[in-house]
Chains A and B, each alone.
Chain A
Amino acid sequence: MSKVGWLRLVVIVGAVGALEVACRAGWINHRVVIPPSEMADALVQLLISGKFNEQIARSFGLVIAAIIIAVVAGFIVGVIIHALPRVRQALDPFFATYYAVPIFIFYPVMIPIFGLSVIPILLMGVLTAIVAMIISTLNGLDRVPRVLTKVARVHRMGRISTALRLKLPAAAPHLFTGVKLAVSYGFIGVIASEFILAPAGLGRVISDAYSDFDNRSMYALMLLLVVVATLANTLLHLFDQRWAERRGAGKS
Chain B
Amino acid sequence: MTADASDRRVHASLISVTRVYPATAGTQPVHALGPIDLELKRGEFFAVVGPSGCGKSTLLEVLAGLQPATEGMVAFEGRPVAGEVPDGIGVVFQEDASFPWLTVRDNAAFGLRRNGTDESEVRRRVDDTLAFMGLKDFATAYPAQLSGGMRQRVCIARTLVLQPRLILLDEPFGALDAQTRLLMGDEVLRLWRQTGATILLITHALDEAAMLSDRIGAMSARPGRFLDIVETGWARERDSTIVSEAHFGEITGRLWDNLRGESMKSLGYAGMYAAAE
Contact = CB atoms under 8 A, between A and B. Distances in A.
Interface stretch (B140-148, B242-250, B255-263): B140-148
A68 B64 CA distance: 43
Given A248-B142, A251-B144, A156 B85 contact: yes
A51 interface: no
* Interface secondary structure of A, over-half rule: helix
A153 B142 contact: no
Interface in B84-128: 84-85, 87, 89-91, 93, 95-97, 99-101, 110-111, 114
Contact of B91 (A154, A169, A249, A251): A154
A155 B110 contact: yes
Contacts of A153: 66, 84-85
Nearest to B110: A155
B144 A249 contact: yes
A145 interface: yes
B143 A150 contact: no
Contact of A147 (B64, B93, B142, B145): B93
Contact of A155 (B95, B111, B142, B144): B111
Interface in B54-71: 61, 64, 66
Contact of A246 (B89, B111, B114, B142): B142
Contact of B66 (A148, A154, A165): A154
A150 B93 contact: yes
A147 to B, nearest CB: 4
A170 B98 CA distance: 11
Contacts of A247: 100-101, 142, 144
B144 A172 contact: no
Contacts of A157: 114
A118 interface: no
A151 interface: yes
Contacts of B93: 147, 150-151
A194 to B, nearest CB: 39
A166 interface: yes
Contacts of B84: 153, 156
A196 B87 CA distance: 63
A170 B102 CA distance: 10
Nearest to A248: B144
Contacts of A251: 144
B260 to A, nearest CB: 31
Nearest to B89: A154
Given A150-B93, A154-B91, A155-B110, A169 B144 contact: no
Contacts of B144: 246-249, 251
Contact of A248 (B90, B97, B111, B145): B145
Given A153-B66, A154-B66, A154-B91, A166 B114 contact: no
Centre residue among B89, B96, B101, B111 by max chain A CB count within 10 A: B101
Contacts of B64: 154
B97 A169 contact: no
A172 B110 contact: no
B97 A155 contact: no
Interface string A42-53: 000000000000
B114 A155 contact: yes
Nearest to B94: A147
Nearest to B159: A154
B97 A151 contact: yes
A251 B146 CA distance: 12
Interface of A: 145, 147-148, 150-151, 153-157, 161, 165-166, 169-170, 172, 246-249, 251
30 contacts: A145-B96, A145-B97, A147-B93, A148-B97, A150-B61, A150-B66, A150-B91, A150-B97, A151-B91, A153-B85, A154-B66, A154-B90, A155-B111, A155-B114, A156-B84, A156-B87, A157-B114, A161-B114, A166-B99, A169-B101, A170-B99, A172-B101, A246-B144, A247-B100, A247-B142, A247-B144, A248-B142, A248-B143, A248-B145, A251-B144
Given A153-B84, A154-B85, 20 more contacts: A145-B95, A145-B96, A145-B97, A148-B99, A150-B61, A150-B91, A150-B93, A150-B97, A151-B91, A153-B66, A154-B66, A154-B89, A155-B110, A156-B87, A166-B99, A169-B99, A169-B101, A246-B142, A247-B142, A251-B144
6 nearest A-B pairs in the assembled complex, by CB-CB distance: A248-B144, A147-B95, A169-B101, A147-B97, A247-B100, A154-B91
